[in-house]
Amino acid sequence: MAAISLSVTQVSMLVAYALGMSVGQLLFKAAAEQLGPVEGVVGLLALFAKPIFLGAVALYGLLTLAWVWILTGVPLSKAYPFAMLALAFTPLLALLFFGESISAKYWIGLLLMCAGLALVVNS
């Protein structure tokens, strides 16, 4: 079976998708901080009154459409590993925007994940 290579445009779209997923997570976190502690489903329903939560849901809806569009030209086996980049982007953005900490072990894990992605993409 011949290796399928991705174009620069396809890789850019896949990286942008993963970054969009991370931004959505930041928006969800910001909505959760606005909401504060909740008890039960009724408390969670208050999220629907939060514009930042609605923005996150809308972003995820758009990203779902973008993902389907990406898959019209990229094999799932090549595209899906890029979704893993959200696992790298999200903590980095949380560090920047929320001051969350990242351990040395986490950094090492991120490097290993990125190395694995490089192997998968170039296979």
Q: What are the tens digits of pLDDT across the range 33-47?
A: 998 888 888 888 889
Residue 45 lies in a domain: yes
Residue 32 lies in a domain: yes
Q: How many domains does the chain have?
A: 1
- For 15, other C-beta atoms within 10 Å of its C-beta total 13
- For 74, other C-beta atoms within 10 Å of its C-beta total 19
Residue 1 lies in a domain: no
Which residue segment(s) compose the domain that 114 sits in? 8-121
User: What mean pLDDT is predicted for residues 87-115?
Assistant: 92
pTM of the model: 0.86
What is the rounded CA–CA span in Å between residue 75 and residue 2? Answer: 13
Residue 2 lies in a domain: no
